[in-house]
Amino acid sequence: MRSRRRLAFALKGGTAINLFYRDMPRLSVDIDLTYLPVRDRADSLTDIDETMNRIMSAATGGIKGLEAHA
């Protein structure tokens, strides 16, 4: 079974283009995400917050020097 964080967000924007379509030089890398599930606002905001915290914790714990900002 796939994890919820893989199902909750879609990557979009310049980083997505750079990673999946065309390797373009970039001054910085940011990640633009779109929340995919259709739920009521309160449940969506809670799920987004919990999922982003799990992603940031996993990323900053696994990549030395990484700075994550929400």
| 10-47: pLDDT as tens digits | 878 777 777 777 777 777 777 788 888 888 999 999 99
Per the structure, the complete domain to which residue 16 belongs is given by 4-62
User: What is the C-alpha to C-alpha distance for residues 31 and 18, in angstroms, rounded to an integer?
Assistant: 11
Residue with tokens 């700075």: 67
* Domain assignment of residue 45, yes or no: yes
* Domain assignment of residue 68, yes or no: no
* Domain assignment of residue 25, yes or no: yes
Is residue 5's pLDDT more than 60? no
User: What is the C-alpha to C-alpha distance for residues 45 and 39, in angstroms, rounded to an integer?
Assistant: 9
* Domain assignment of residue 67, yes or no: no
With a CB cutoff of 8 Å and minimum separation 6, the contacts of 65 are none
Q: How many domains does the chain have?
A: 1
User: What is the C-alpha to C-alpha distance for residues 8 and 36, in angstroms, rounded to an integer?
Assistant: 5
* Domain assignment of residue 69, yes or no: no
